């Protein structure tokens, strides 16, 4: 891949690149829709990601090219105008990082040429935008010798997403992409940003990523509706309990006070947020003990909760997950990401891989009418210079 990105850079910009950088995508193993409920997430950085070849310029122009969007050609802006422009399309993600680093007082006084090549499927919910943000941050830190730590780059990545791109997302994606460690998962408390690095040794098993190929479109209204229902549930529980978020509750306390909610929808949404948060802690212990069977059961339980209590799965994800769960070579499967499309994951025995891929792909094609793509993902380090 490094040779490919070198060749792309030379072809587009007519000169050799100076440096090569890589930022991974991410998969959340468990802990879905817990971030805005004050709970934990349990992501990993993966070996699929985004590569960049870069060379500094003598002027203040920034020229960007992505092999994922060749039809858009070279996107260009200057260091003197780092405002969001709709016409700049995907280039707004790197531009946002330039903008916030300069706003924070860091000296970036030369432009650059950058060619990007990613192998994260677009719209799959594996965090291609966070990957580009952290790729840009790590690249600028290296090229301009900026004294900023990775956690602060992570926060600027989230700021780019929230304030520059206008997407009201949590910090998990940027955190996993920036702070990821090979063969480890990160148990992150999204409320405090305290985190634990947990060994994720899958032994004879590998992580399968199954793409619905239905672009993930958790519409603003559905996403906001779920958040609103959780906020309503919290408000009603606060009439009796001294809590700041659903993530502070355990199942026992919730069951003892569930009568306060009155509305079945609120019960379901809150129950998911609370039980899913508990599953992140159980998943940590299961991996620490090397108990992959229990870990697989937690994946299955997570999907059931997302399907029945949170209602964010849909036919495509349910078909992939159910087919994967039935396969004798799989220990468990669940949707990952926001839902309504995107990807699912499964823990699959290495020796059963080919049969698993064939069976899941065939069943999905028969039931949904178009193909899935199934990747084997390894757990990687965070964004870095190669």
pLDDT, tens digit, 9 for 90 and up, residues 274-332:
999 999 999 999 999 999 999 999 999 999 999 999 999 999 999 999 999 999 999 99
Q: Top-level CATH class of 205-377?
A: alpha beta
Q: How far apart are CA 56 and CA 24, in angstroms?
A: 23
Indicate if the pLDDT at residue 120 is higher than 90.
no
Q: How far apart are CA 132 and CA 52, in angstroms?
A: 9
Candidate list 113, 173, 309, 380, residue with the active-site label = 173
Report helix, strand or coil for 24.
strand
Output the six-digit token pair for 321: 């997950």
Q: What is the per-residue pLDDT for 337?
A: 85
Q: What is the per-residue pLDDT for 215?
A: 59
Mean pLDDT of the chain: 93
Residues recorded for the chain: 386
183 catalytic? Reply is no
pLDDT, tens digit, 9 for 90 and up, residues 360-386:
999 999 999 999 999 998 999 999 999
Cβ–Cβ < 8 Å for 81, 148? no
- Among 294, 317, 293, smallest CA distance to 304 is for 317
Are domains 2-199 and 205-377 of this chain identical in fold?
Answer: no
Range from 17-26, 193-202, 290-299, 336-345 carrying the lowest mean pLDDT = 336-345
Query: For the whole model, what pTM was predicted?
Result: 0.90
Q: How far apart are CA 30 and CA 276, in angstroms?
A: 8
pLDDT, tens digit, 9 for 90 and up, residues 155-194:
999 999 989 988 777 888 999 999 999 999 999 998 889 9
pLDDT, tens digit, 9 for 90 and up, residues 29-85:
999 999 889 999 999 999 999 999 999 999 999 999 999 899 999 999 999 999 999
Q: What is the per-residue pLDDT for 225?
A: 87
% pLDDT > 90, the chain:
84
Angle at 28 between CA 268 and CA 25, to 5 degrees: 145
Q: What is the per-residue pLDDT for 1?
A: 86
Domain edges within the chain: 2-199, 205-377
Q: How far apart are CA 114 and CA 135, in angstroms?
A: 11
The domain defined by 2-199 carries CATH number 3.30.230.10:
yes
Indicate if the pLDDT at residue 125 is higher than 80.
no
């Amino acid at each position: 891949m490094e040779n490919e990105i070198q060749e792309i850079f030379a072809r587009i910009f007519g000169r050799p690149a100076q440096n090569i950088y890589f930022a991974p995508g991410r998969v959340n193993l468990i802990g879905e829709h817990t971030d805005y409920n004050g709970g934990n997430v349990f992501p990993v950085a993966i070996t699929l990601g985004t590569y960049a070849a870069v060379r500094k310029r003598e002027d203040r122009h920034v020229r960007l090219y992505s092999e994922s969007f060749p039809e858009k050609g070279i996107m260009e802006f200057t260091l003197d105008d780092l405002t969001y422009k709709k016409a700049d399309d995907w280039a707004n993600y790197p531009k946002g990082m330039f903008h916030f680093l300069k706003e924070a007082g860091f000296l970036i006084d030369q432009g650059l040429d950058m060619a990007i090549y990613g192998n994260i499927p677009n719209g799959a919910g594996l965090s291609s935008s966070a990957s580009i943000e952290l790729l840009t941050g790590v690249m600028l830190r290296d090229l301009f010798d900026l004294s900023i730590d990775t956690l602060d780059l992570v926060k600027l990545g989230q700021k780019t997403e929230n304030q520059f791109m206008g997407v009201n997302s949590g910090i998990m994606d940027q955190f996993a992409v920036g702070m990821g460690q090979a063969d480890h998962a990160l148990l992150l408390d999204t409320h405090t940003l305290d985190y634990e690095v947990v060994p994720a040794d899958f032994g004879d098993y590998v992580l399968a990523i199954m793409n619905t190929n239905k672009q993930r479109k958790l519409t603003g209204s559905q996403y906001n509706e779920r958040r609103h229902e959780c906020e309503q549930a919290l408000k009603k529980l606060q009439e009796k309990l001294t809590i700041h978020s659903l993530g502070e509750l355990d199942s026992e306390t919730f069951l003892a006070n569930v009568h306060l909610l009155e509305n079945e929808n609120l019960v379901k949404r809150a129950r998911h947020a609370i039980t899913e948060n508990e599953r992140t802690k159980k998943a940590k212990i299961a991996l620490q003990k090397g108990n992959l069977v229990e870990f697989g059961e937690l994946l299955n339980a997570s999907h059931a909760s997302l399907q029945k209590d949170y209602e964010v799965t849909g036919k495509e994800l349910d078909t992939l997950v159910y087919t994967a769960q039935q396969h004798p070579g799989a220990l468990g499967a669940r949707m990952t990401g926001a839902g309504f499309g995107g990807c699912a994951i499964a823990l699959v025995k290495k020796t059963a891989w080919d049969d698993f891929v064939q069976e899941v792909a065939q069943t999905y094609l028969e039931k949904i009418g178009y193909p899935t793509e199934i990747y084997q993902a390894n757990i990687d380090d965070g964004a870095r210079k190669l």
